Each structure stands twice: as structure tokens, then as C-alpha cells.
Structure 1
Amino acid sequence: MNGNNQPARYSWGGDEHIFVELAESMSLRANFRAMAITTTLREEQLDGVLEICPANASYQVRYDPDVIEPDTLLGHLTDIERTVGDASDVSLSTRVVEIPVLYRDPWTTETLMRFRDRHQDPEVTDIDYAARINGLADADEFIRMHSNSPWFTSMVGFVAGLPFMFQMVPQERQLVVPKYLRPRTDTPKQTVGHGGCFGCIYSVRGAGGYQMFGITPAPIYDPSQSMPDFADFMVFFRPGDIVRFAPIDRDRYDEAVKEVEAGEFRIRSRQVDFALQPFLDDPDGFNTRLLEVLRAD
């Protein structure tokens, strides 16, 4: 969770991109600075700026050099960086979303057992391994730790619609689990995974190296935009979304799948304003108040 407000490093990517590295190490503070800077730039609707892509501790801007001079854009970005500072007084409008999770489901369990030769501990499941190396009593305690605190979506990408998430607890309490020794060639769609300090949800079936803890019935990528949560865009998650993982049982999972098949499933979400400093001052109290928003009808 710690992060220093170090000067940004600017570099060019061909004739149309500028890449800005805000910190060498990834942290919630560094990511929040990236969010604050890119949100400011997006709200300005500057002529010539075509795309803005925030990432974990950096961001990239695609621009039209025939409309805006590269040096002009560079100067503007450095001005925004100075104005934002450490982002301690910045508030972002975002969402709290609830993602139901069937932990220790049969599909990720079957998959992980096919790839034990690529794992640090072939004798146990991913979630049992994660519990042990985090000093927890068992998988049940790990699930409580994983689902009791919210997660901040730091970026969306790598594959279409896949969110990367920081656990919103002090750094010494973050769950940390290494990736597989060698990547798998298969991961079920909508697997809830974890690698390093990052949580994720696999938006599509495919290769992967993150530990697998469960699966969600909630679609997060819909290129057909046939589901109600995708009327505006084929990707559900946005950088800055705050996620609560809600454990469910197999019966509720099956009910949700039927709702998805009927085109009726909705991910629960509420609009909130999020400022970093109040969270840093009192993480547990802030999280309690934040998650209460989802309980309001």
C-alpha cells in the first residue's frame, strides 16, 4: 500500500504514443495517481488525444501528432502531474460491485489437478497452498480473508475484459501467492485467480498462470452485448471499480447460471466517490462503511 510520490518517467512510443511510468513498484497509491491523472485528462477532452489507458503504476496516451504537437502534450501531462501531486485530495467517481464466487468449484478443481506438474506443491489444491503460505489455518480461513475486504480494480486488459485488482488492506495483510511455475494451457472462463499481490477474473477460457480459487457465474465480457450489464460496452469492468467477492454455494451458482442463460442476470453495483487518503487513514473502518453501500436497497 505504500508508494512514494517520485517524478514520473516519460517516453515516446513511435509517433503516436507517450508512455508515463509513475513508480517502479506497484502500489495502490501509485495506481490511484495514474487514475487521477488519466481521469483529469479524459475530462478535459483535449483535441488530438485519441486513447487513454491507465495501468498499475503507469499510463499510456495515444494522440494524433497532426492535431497536437508531441511536446505540447508532454508539457500538458507534466502540468497535470504537478497539479495532482500525490492525489491525496483527489476523489474519483466509481462503483462498488459485488461478484458472487463459488470457491473450490468442480471445474477449476478439475483443471488445476491436470496441471499439478507445473505447480509449487503438486500434493494440494491451489487454495490449500495459498492458505498455507499465507500462514492461515485452512482454505476456509483463506476464503474469509479473500472475501472480507474489497479489491480495487487497477487496470483492465492483457486479454479482453480481464480486471487486475489490489486487495484494499494494509500491505502487511495482503494475500500474496506466486503464479504457477509454468503456465497452464487451460483456465475455465470466469475463474477467480491470484498471482503475486493481484487478484483477477479470467474473462475467457484460455492459458493462464494465476492460482485458481473459484469461479463466478457473472459474465464480465460480452462481445455480443446481449446481457443487460453490457448495453454500453462489451467489457464490464472499468479501472477504479471496487470489488467485493461474495461466497455462494452450488445451488445459488446454478440459479445464477440459469439467469445468465435467460439474459436476466445483473451484477449488483452502486455508485460511490472514492478518495485514497481517508482509506489510508482508517482502512478497516473505511472498508466497513464502503461495503455497507451494497447492502442498501
Structure 2
Amino acid sequence: MTYRPSGDRYLLVEYGPSVLDIALRFRVHGLMLWMQANKPAGVLELTPGIRSLQVHYDSLVLPLAALLDVLQQAEAALKDVEALDVAARVVHLPLSWDDDACQVAIKKYMQSVRKDAPWCPSNIEFIRRINGLADIEQVREIVFNARYLVMGLGDVYLGAPVATPLDPRHRLVTTKYNPARTWTAENSVGIGGSYLCVYGMEGPGGYQFVGRTLQMWNRWRRTAEFDQPWLLRFFDQIQFYPVSAQELADMRKAFPKGGYPLKIEHTTFSLKSYQDFALQHADSIAGFTRKREQAFGAELQRWIASGQMNFESDQDLARERATEEALPDHCMAVESPVAGNVWEILVKPGDRVETGQTLLILESMKMEIQITAPSAGVVYAISRSEGSQIQAGQALLVLQEEQA
């Protein structure tokens, strides 16, 4: 166990090595329950992680030395976590397998970030390959048969769960995108490392897609499922069932308004029962893990052999800058304010545009940036193509200004 102070208001209590161990998560939970029950004066907030507990405290009321004494008392008082049963729920969620929104995100990534990444054009094929599975159908069977234990919440914004399959034979392991995606649809479902995550909101990301599901956060109203803004709780178990992309779209419209009820089963989770299960199936678990590790190692060797282990842009931006041409009379260059990639060009040569009209969209620093016309005029020439990389100050297009 390690105590890591952060300034004079936070302390991180960290258990064990940096490995996936459900017993460590139980230890964190036990400490949190003790602190909540005993309510030490000066403790303001407790934030559990997978193997850590962050304590937010008022050092004027509870100095660090006194807080450490409290934590030592807690450790002495804690019972064996194997005897701990926690309240849990099985939450059944629809999953649109390889959803259209995931395909759009992959397309954008290939066009503007890294077209030859090993996980493109199919994240699911990559998951199959790096885990040593026979075909994509095996990936699908594992995802839909697994029960994912929610170990943490809020990993990638707004109630997003970090979950791992209870059965180690369902634990698919992947690398993350490198570089990261600049766009991910809200509630996309992906696997990164040994964890599954549901993205709580639209934004960047790096987990390998398997599909898309319902909203994890509802700030607008309370419903039977949302008695708080976030849907899931610690130690919930997620069970996916398949739906089509259109079915999911209809569900997503109704769900935040209370119009699509979820099947939620209340249960308990026992660490001892889980450990007994793992011991009973130790041989098959070891065989699955060994096969997965061999496939993972073989995939990395392919990257090394093909030069894909370290990504570098193959575009010579300096050469592009050197070929910039002089502008015709009454023309102006619309330049990029940042380094990035051209995602979408919305105009063509000869188009008349108004001041403030969006001309094209860049991707940079995991953001989409609209480039607008500085004045009214006619598009004289397009200097870049979709997917090309640009640096700050490079011309994106040439605009012929209107003459008075």
C-alpha cells in the first residue's frame, strides 16, 4: 500500500501492483465503506479507482498526519475482503454491433490521421487477430456472452464505465489507437488494454470499437433508470444484447425521456465466489490467456517487421511550403491557424461565398475547427485535398475578393 499526497488537500491511497486484480478493487471498496461509516471530520469526498482511493480533505480540520492515522485505523479494522459481498445489478444494454457511427469515426481517422494503422479499416478484425481468435464471429460471441463488471466510472467523461469481463476467458485485450482518434460518437463501445468503456459523450478516443449503445448520462430529467445523472453504479454487471443500428437510433431517442425501459436485475457480488470460480476453471483460463498472449506478441512482431511500431507522418510539409505560388491580383489566401489535417472541404472553385461562411473543416488537437471566409468573394482555387496534413500558416484555398 502506498500513500501519495497531492498538495495539501488530496491523498491517493494505492493498493498493490499495476495489474488487473478484482480483489484490489474490493479492498478499495472496503476502505471507502469504512470511511463513509465512520465519517472522519475533515474528509470532504472519496473517489474510488480500480486499485486506489482518492481522499479529498480539509487540511485545516484534518492535517495530513492525522489523516494517515485515520487510514491506519481503517486498515486495522477492515475485515478480510473475501468475506465482503457488495450490492450489484445486472444491467442489460442494447449494442449495435459495428455501428455506423463507429464506421464514420474509423473513416475520419484513416482520412486525416493514419490511413495504414494496423487496426484499420476494421477494429473488430484487429481485435480478432491480436487475441488469436479464429474469426470475427468469435469476437461477437465473447462480447455478447460476457458480463462486464463496472470497476470505475467517469474514465472518459460523464459516467463512462471502465469494466472488465467477470470470466477471464472473455477478456479481450487490445492496444489503443496511436495517435488517438479526433472524433468518437457519444456512447460508442470500445476495448482498450483489458478494459471495456462506453464513451459518455462525443469526443476524441483511442479504444477499439465494437459498437454503440444507450446514453450513460442524462442531465435533463429523472427516469426509472436515471435516479441520478449517471446510469451505472460501481459493481454493476453489463450484459449486452444485439440490436440493429436503426433499432438503437429509435431507442436512443426514447431512452432519456423514460420511453425505453431497461431490464435491470438486482443481485450481490461475492469476491469469494468469484475466486472459487476462477480456481475451478484455472486450466481453461490459463489456456485462453496463453493463446491470447502469443497472438498479442505475434502482432507486435508484425508491426516491428513492417515499420508500424512507431508512427511518423510521411508528408513532407517543408516541401509543401516551398511550392506555395504567388497569388493573382485581387486574391487572398485563406490560411490554416493551426497544424492539423483537412477533414472536409465544403466548397469548390467558382463557388461564391459570403463573409463568415464555412469553407472547410480541419481536425487538430482532437478538435474539429471550422475555417470561415474572411470576406465575400469567389473561390479561386483549392490548395489542399481532404486528408492532407497542414501546418499553421499554410494556404488552404485562394479567395478572389469582390471588387467595389
TM-score normalised by the shorter chain: which range applies? 0.7 to 0.9
Amino acid at match of 1:9: T
Between Structure 1 and Structure 2, the one with more strand by share is 2
Give the 5 Å matches for 1:44-59.
Answer: 44-59=38-53
Aligned with 1:248 (options 230, 243, 248):
243
5+ residue gaps, structure 1, are 1-7, 287-297
Aligned with 2:94 (options 93, 97, 100):
100
Distance in 2, Cα, partners of 1:261 & 1:19: 35
- Does the Cα contact within 8 Å between 1:189 and 1:206 map onto a contact in 2? yes
Give the 5 Å matches for 1:124-135.
Answer: 124-135=121-132
- Does the Cα contact within 8 Å between 2:92 and 2:263 map onto a contact in 1? yes
Map of 1:72 onto structure 2:
66
Amino acid at match of 2:146: S
Map of 2:191 onto structure 1:
194
CA RMSD, 1 decimal: 2.4
> Does residue 212 in structure 1 map to residue 199 in structure 2?
no
Map of 2:12 onto structure 1:
19
Map of 2:274 onto structure 1:
279
Amino acid at match of 1:195: G
Amino acid at match of 2:134: A
- Does the Cα contact within 8 Å between 1:119 and 1:182 map onto a contact in 2? no
Distance in 2, Cα, partners of 1:262 & 1:138: 39
For structure 1, which segment, 137-146 or 206-215, has the greater mean C-alpha deviation from structure 2 after superposition? 137-146
TM-score (norm: length of structure 2)? 0.63
Distance in 1, Cα, partners of 2:117 & 2:32: 38
Greater relative CO, 1 or 2 (CA 8 Å, sep 6+): 1
- Does the Cα contact within 8 Å between 2:215 and 2:256 map onto a contact in 1? no
Distance in 2, Cα, partners of 1:205 & 1:85: 42
1:62, CA displacement in angstroms? Answer: 0.6
- Does the Cα contact within 8 Å between 2:215 and 2:252 map onto a contact in 1? no
Amino acid at match of 1:21: E
- Does the Cα contact within 8 Å between 1:36 and 1:92 map onto a contact in 2? no
Amino acid at match of 1:37: L
Cα–Cα, structure 1 residues 70 and 262, in superposed 2: closer, same or farther, change >3 Å?
A: closer
- Does the Cα contact within 8 Å between 1:184 and 1:208 map onto a contact in 2? yes
Distance in 2, Cα, partners of 1:184 & 1:147: 25
Map of 1:40 onto structure 2:
34
Distance in 2, Cα, partners of 1:259 & 1:79: 49
Aligned with 2:252 (options 249, 257, 274):
257
Amino acid at match of 1:163: P
Amino acid at match of 1:236: L
1:86, CA displacement in angstroms? Answer: 5.5
For structure 1, which segment, 173-182 or 253-262, has the greater mean C-alpha deviation from structure 2 after superposition? 253-262
CA displacement 1:95-114 (0-9 Å, x = unmatched): 22112111111111121122
| 3-state DSSP of counterpart to 1:112 | helix
Cα–Cα, structure 1 residues 169 and 99, in superposed 2: closer, same or farther, change >3 Å?
A: same
Distance in 1, Cα, partners of 2:128 & 2:135: 6
1:241, CA displacement in angstroms? Answer: 1.7
Aligned residues: 276
Amino acid at match of 1:87: V
CA displacement 1:230-258 (0-9 Å, x = unmatched): 23x21222222221122223453244234
Map of 2:179 onto structure 1:
182
TM-score (norm: length of structure 1)? 0.84
1:124, CA displacement in angstroms? Answer: 3.5
1:123, CA displacement in angstroms? Answer: 4.9
5+ residue gaps, structure 2, are 282-404
